[in-house]
Structure 1
Amino acid sequence: MLPWVIAVLIGAVGCSRKGGEEEVLDGKAKGEIALGQELYERNGCPLCHGDRGRGDGRIAAALNPRPRDFRDLQAYQQGYTLEAISSTIKKGMASGKGVMPAYPHIAREQRRLIASYIVAMQADTAAQTLSITNPWIRESLPPHSQTAAYMTIANQGSGEEVLTGVEAPIASRVEIHLSYEEEGLMKMKELERISIPGDANIALQPGGLHLMLVDLEQRLEAGASVELTLNFLHAGTWHLKVPVRPMEN
């Protein structure tokens, strides 16, 4: 279906597309996601994509191809980041895999806020499809300046998830490391992030991927627990209370 046909259908069921000067909104009193939802609804996005972005809006059945389900990261033909979604809203899309009219009249900041709401809908789904099991931290050894954390991260979703960073109040920083063998020697390198493919598990374990807690504030003994904050690209922020175990684990 051509973009102008979609635009006619949207207009026929009451979509409001503001023309002329761009409206200036005061977002200081509202959260970005809440304001993004308001703009999402005001600009008629639910008519195609549905109230919760599942591609089940009132006119979705009349469109071919059907509107994308925002929860399916593989359905984003032009990328699913904040910047990519904002660009798609502005420029639209017309290809064999998807058709969407352009909305250049929507102010840049408003497009970003709508994109923030769409990304939040991704996160709602991503958080439901992500699980973290068997987290533990190795007790520290003299001089007790660093130690390692391990766990298994499972992604039951269809799209890729990414661990972008980790924080711990007890350490000055937490680094993502990979231990590997090269020419008979064990080596270690720092990684910027960990990618977890859809329908896959990633094990952080001794001798492989792990989290390194650097510059510890105190000695960590077996039986204690440590707070870790894991930041994911789609599933958002996860707070864990991780037990400290003896070295033999």
Structure 2
Amino acid sequence: MKKALVLVVSVMLMTVALGACQAAPAGPQIEVSGVWGRPSPMTAGNGAAYMLIENTGSEDDKVIGAWSDVAENTEIHDMTMDDGVMKMFHVDSYDVPAGGSVELKPGGKHVMFIGLYDQLEVGQVVTVELEFEKSEKMTVEAEIREE
């Protein structure tokens, strides 16, 4: 009887230990944090949202698009310095490497709201949907605030 009890307890402990040793889930694991946007003083103007997109998974992913109901069009953009002039341009995607991140920040990568339906005011919360190459679409909320 004692041997049977020891065997049962040993099997249970081994099962728990093996369960704790499982590898991280395959594929990308996307987390978004620090989402915010700047106030925009006029209607029919443009606005932007910024955030940190992290991939804690084992596979690379890409941001391939964005959508929001605050503007006629929502795109992913980047900026670069060219001969002393800052230039902004639409991009097809942002790489989000496995175990890495991509930061969207003023003066660099950002979600661009083109043709705002109304001005963006401090304290307002804007919904942004991010589309990924591999991961499911993700909806985040950007608080409009001064930098």
TM-score of the superposition, structure 1-length normalised? 0.47
SS in 2 for 1:180: strand
Unaligned runs of 5+ in 1: 1-70, 73-124
Kindly state the Cα deviation for residue 143 of structure 1 after the two structures are TM-superposed. Answer: 5.1
The 1:144–1:244 alpha-carbon spacing in structure 2 relative to 1, beyond 3 Å, is farther
Q: Which has the higher contact order (CA 8 A, sep 6+)?
A: 2
Unaligned runs of 5+ in 2: 1-24
Residue matched to 1:174: 74
> Which structure carries more helix by proportion?
1
Which residue number corresponds to residue 229 of structure 1?
Answer: 129
Deviations 1:111-141 (A, max 9, x none): xxxxxxxxxxxxxx53xx2110100011103
TM-score normalised according to structure 2 size: 0.78
- Which SS does the other structure have where 1:222 is aligned? coil
Q: How many residues are matched?
A: 124
2:54 to 154, 159, 166: 154
More strand by share: 2
Q: How many percent identity over aligned positions?
A: 28
Match of 2:112 among 195, 212, 216: 212
Is the Cα contact below 8 Å between 2:43 and 2:116 reproduced in 1?
Answer: no
Q: Look up the match of 1:7.
A: none
1:144 positional shift: 5.0
Once residues 233 and 143 of structure 1 are traced to their aligned partners in structure 2, the CA distance between those partners, rounded to angstroms, is 32
Instruction: Determine whether 1:238 maps to 2:135.
Output: no
Deviations 1:199-244 (A, max 9, x none): 1110000011011101111011000111111111222111112111
**Aligned alpha-carbon RMSD (Å):** 1.7
